[in-house]
Structure 1
């Protein structure tokens, strides 16, 4: 079930730039994806998938989020992650992956060039990540 808070954030973001949101997926398909890949996605990200199965924010130079049905699809073995403890769920226009630790709510950006996750780019959950998109992307909000 999609929370009112997430819907409000998406509605607000939708008025601030060009966005492409894909058709939603279902809780059942998310559960199947998790079982097939032996992972548990962050609960707030699963809410997002039930609103939009992936998508793009602040085009052309924003972020892309991956889904479980719509391409690009989450690849739990994506080589752009820091190690096997993480799942890549999207990417910045710079190419740096948006990651979550397996079986965790935290969302982070992996700085590939530096080979580390910056402390100021770790978010408690997907909602907090969305609320900080303006700062992350360096755009006014």
Structure 2
């Protein structure tokens, strides 16, 4: 995801609902977080963190993203995931966690009710996930 794609997505979000974007994280804060936890976050997600380190989209019943410097901070030990190959980077209003698969660009949603990650809720990267939020949240785009 480049800055132009991010701007397009966030402009669309702002037209559709109330957003609570936070101050972006610095490259140093992101690198410090990754080094401390011995993980590499997805590149597209790091672009998002530089824009908004956490925050909420489509308030009041949308999505909360976690950050690396602002609360709520990503908890790499969060147990609300299928296994240790995932990191919880946010949550839907339903409580279902948004996951990134360690050492990949893959973003997915863990469906609590089904007890699994469903095929139609796996995204090749964070940009693809953001681009599908309208359908995912049932708000049209």
**How many residues are treated as equivalent by the alignment?**
141
User: 1:114 aligns to what?
Assistant: 114
Deviations 1:66-93 (A, max 9, x none): 0011111100010101110000000000
**RMSD value, Cα:** 1.2
Provide structure 1 residue ranges, at least 5 long, that are not aligned to the other structure: none
Cα pair 1:2 1:48 within 8 Å, conserved: no
User: 2:82 aligns to what?
Assistant: 82
User: 1:23 aligns to what?
Assistant: 23
Q: How far does residue 106 in structure 1 lie from its aligned partner after superposition? A: 0.7
Provide structure 2 residue ranges, at least 5 long, that are not aligned to the other structure: none
TM-score, with length taken from structure 2 = 0.97
TM-score, with length taken from structure 1 = 0.97
The answer to whether 1:59 aligns with 2:85 is no
Structure 1 runs of 4+ aligned residues shifted over 2 Å read none
The answer to whether 1:50 aligns with 2:57 is no
Deviations 1:78-133 (A, max 9, x none): 01011100000000000000001001101000012221000000011111101000
User: 1:72 aligns to what?
Assistant: 72
Q: Which moved more, 1:67-76 or 1:2-11?
A: 2-11
